[in-house]
A and B are shown apart, each in its own frame.
Chain A
């Protein structure tokens, strides 16, 4: 019985170590643009797209390009494969995953956040014309 417990504990320990190692080595850190450039590996960047710089979907190359400002205010050009994500234009926050190639950030994934649409803001309520019941 005792040996069984030892084998069990060892197996669990090996499994846990393996799992922790795998997750730890596969985790993707959040970074600012300068950090992302330094690290030269896949990271995630949180920010918002820069409306003054515009955006472009090139259907021949199937790439979507825009400028993004990260949370610290650094700006970079972002290129991703595929079309413009749903809700991109109205998203106050964008999370991109990818790495720098030269001066362009190549994103493999763009996540758009649209929190205002899930819980109402007073401004919206004012926007919908009100009448007294």
Chain B
């Protein structure tokens, strides 16, 4: 009850705070009260979160949510992660992050007249999420969730179901919170834009917004990148980006925010793009809400690798209402103030071929790409909405559009560095870019000789190198003189790096499969791979059996041991293994080892025979055996998962005599394999066993029996383990990580400059 009461209090305080804050726009005396209720609401959220967390830590599985997502076996830090592993908890996390950001926002708006409206709308968002949590509560007891099943009040499950082992990695404690902070920060441009529209102050708000927009974009970008890195490094998806709906849903707001930062710069310098900024400011949050809907409502269930739960009709409807409310508010106020803004706008315009012209073009390109991602992500859902046949989207479409946009974007970026604000002098610019242009062309020609082949890649590489060189020039020029100005150059330098990394690692990766027994060595891509044995890890956990398969990678004097991981877990009833890759990280490439399978292979001499085929027995070449048929009559004796199958063998002796025997195998009907059941062929020294039936569904006559042999009386040879893995060479993948880090740092660098400006402008405000 306690938790539910806290949520209800949060809803009430949130509603009161929203109303009081909005009222205080006209009557300032309500503002303090609005703030007090905001603090109370925050206290409610913090209280509810602590209550949930402490129950998770004390394994109180009476709560359905805790029973669903945690277990006694989990480490403390995974227990913390199970807080937000389910839908209710992630709404809780979103709420608490929003509440904390709100505390900073109060601080940032209380002295410039924006608090009433900005905080009023901001609190309404928290109120909305809290309301969802009333209907979809993390504090339901198991006997409430399964009401009608006759559970007694006070039932306590002995253990929870635990966290999906795939997610049990330190990244789950890092990536989701960072992503949620980024997500939540997108609410700030929205509320500030709404406040600006109502206040008819289309200029001042961008000074307040700038540091928020930069921080939010940096953090969201970091969150997205960490997700990609997590997928690559431990989830073993093989890549860092798959255009999955869940990935896209955080990319869309980020791209809009990046475009917004560019258009904000244009407005700061020229006074133009007022409407654009107001709209973009609201759009990035609108798409956070839209993405939440897409990924939480279950409508994308079939098209994503992420699994979703259908949250039930109430939450579905509330999410739709949530979207409509904020979209409606945005559209209404932009339409309402449209004429007024235009009066404002009349004296400003964007000069052709000036710096602001290029920045605007760049923003349009980013938004166009965002539109592509929105279309692709929504397509399956929209198609279903219109009663069309269910469809999925081929992700190569994103790559095609992305390539074209990236080429133009990078060229414009390099070009824009030499342009001047409010001056459109093309000749001047052409004179300055000729040198980096030729240098890039020469470099790409060189790369073409080194193996860069496809036309798209050549163009993309050229554009990236061009952007890289021009930004490098400006980085060096400003390094000492003007370190606060480095941000944009650093970010674009990062973008160029990222694109080069994507081209190299995505376009020129190569994969080869390697199968090794212990201490066996095989080479691939010029490296010697030796499987040097496995080691059990995390033995303290009874719910899993986890092995590190150590593989030595050697070339000349260079040697490195990597350990891909294979494990079985209670989570899927030990039915199939979970796999984690091992990576040899080098400066110029990663050698990525993705485990595929381990099998016990018999070392006994073997033969594969179809019906009617014959072979000399490997242990006694004077005997020839053939299969004359199979005895499936015993199949009727299927017990559980095993079937008894007889193989009818004809043995021919050197003296032309022959005999017929039937040997029986107990086959597992899911794998059609069997433990050896040795049969000594009378009057010979040969023992034989049929251990596997390789069936051909299309042609029964093509069914093969896998036979093994040994000398009579000898112990059967120990089976050996074969470890199969894919080796993938990922050239220059480090550029991807380095590039993203530079982008993020580039966003963070200029913040201090803008906060200082913001303060200065506050004084000079009307």
Binding site for B on A (CB under 8 A): 15, 19-20, 22-23, 26-30, 44, 46, 51-57, 59-60, 62, 67, 77, 82-90, 95, 97, 102-104, 111, 113-115, 117-120, 122, 124-125, 128-133
Tell me which residues across on chain B come within 8 A of A129, comparing CB atoms: 158
Pairwise interchain contact A115-B307, C-beta atoms closer than 8 A? yes
Give the 5 A-B CB pairs with smallest separation, nearest first.
Answer: A89-B575, A26-B394, A30-B390, A27-B391, A133-B156
Q: Is B579 an interface residue (CB 8 A)?
A: yes
Contact among A20, A30, A111 for B305, CB-based, below 8 A: A111
Pairwise interchain contact A59-B515, C-beta atoms closer than 8 A? yes
Tell me which residues across on chain A come within 8 A of B576, comparing CB atoms: 84-90
Q: Is B154 an interface residue (CB 8 A)?
A: yes
Contact among A84, A102, A125 for B698, CB-based, below 8 A: A102
Q: Is B379 an interface residue (CB 8 A)?
A: yes
Contact among B145, B151, B308, B571 for A117, CB-based, below 8 A: B571
For the complex, give the distance between the alpha carbons of A83 and B597 in Å.
7
- Return the chain A residue nearest B391 by Cβ: A27
Q: Is B447 an interface residue (CB 8 A)?
A: no
Pairwise interchain contact B698-A104, C-beta atoms closer than 8 A? yes
Tell me which residues across on chain A come within 8 A of B301, comparing CB atoms: 113
- How many Å from the CB of B671 to the closest CB on chain A? 6
Tell me which residues across on chain B come within 8 A of A26, comparing CB atoms: 393-394, 396-397
- Return the chain A residue nearest B575 by Cβ: A89
Contacting A at CB under 8 A, from B158-186, are 158-159, 161, 164, 166
For the complex, give the distance between the alpha carbons of A41 and B151 in Å.
51
Pairwise interchain contact A117-B164, C-beta atoms closer than 8 A? yes
- How many Å from the CB of B595 to the closest CB on chain A? 8
For the complex, give the distance between the alpha carbons of A15 and B368 in Å.
8
- How many Å from the CB of B522 to the closest CB on chain A? 14
Besides the known contacts A19-B401, A86-B579, A133-B155, 14 further A-B residue pairs in the complex with CB atoms under 8 A apart: A27-B379, A44-B302, A52-B669, A54-B671, A60-B515, A83-B724, A87-B572, A89-B573, A95-B302, A103-B698, A111-B305, A114-B572, A130-B158, A132-B155
- How many Å from the CB of B593 to the closest CB on chain A? 14
Tell me which residues across on chain B come within 8 A of A89, comparing CB atoms: 572-573, 575-576
Q: How large is the interface on B (under 10, 10 to 19, 20 to 34, 35 or more residues)?
A: 35 or more
Q: Is B389 an interface residue (CB 8 A)?
A: yes
- Return the chain A residue nearest B390 by Cβ: A30
From B60-68, B499-507, B710-718, give the one contacting chain A.
B60-68
A67-B697, A129-B158 known; A23 and B400 CB under 8 Å?
A: no
Tell me which residues across on chain A come within 8 A of B389, comparing CB atoms: 29-30
Pairwise interchain contact A59-B158, C-beta atoms closer than 8 A? no
Of B86, B152, B157, the most chain A CB neighbours within 10 A belong to B157
- How many Å from the CB of B144 to the closest CB on chain A? 12
- How many Å from the CB of B607 to the closest CB on chain A? 16
Q: What mask results when residues 551 to 575 of chain B are scored 1 for a CB within 8 Å of chain A, else 0?
A: 0000000000000000000011101
Tell me which residues across on chain A come within 8 A of B537, comparing CB atoms: none
Q: Is B149 an interface residue (CB 8 A)?
A: yes
For the complex, give the distance between the alpha carbons of A120 and B88 in Å.
14
Tell me which residues across on chain B come within 8 A of A57, comparing CB atoms: 597
Q: What mask results when residues 366 to 382 of chain B are scored 1 for a CB within 8 Å of chain A, else 0?
A: 00100110011001000
Q: Is B454 an interface residue (CB 8 A)?
A: no
Contact among A22, A52, A90, A118 for B572, CB-based, below 8 A: A90
Tell me which residues across on chain B come within 8 A of A88, comparing CB atoms: 575-576
For the complex, give the distance between the alpha carbons of A131 and B671 in Å.
38
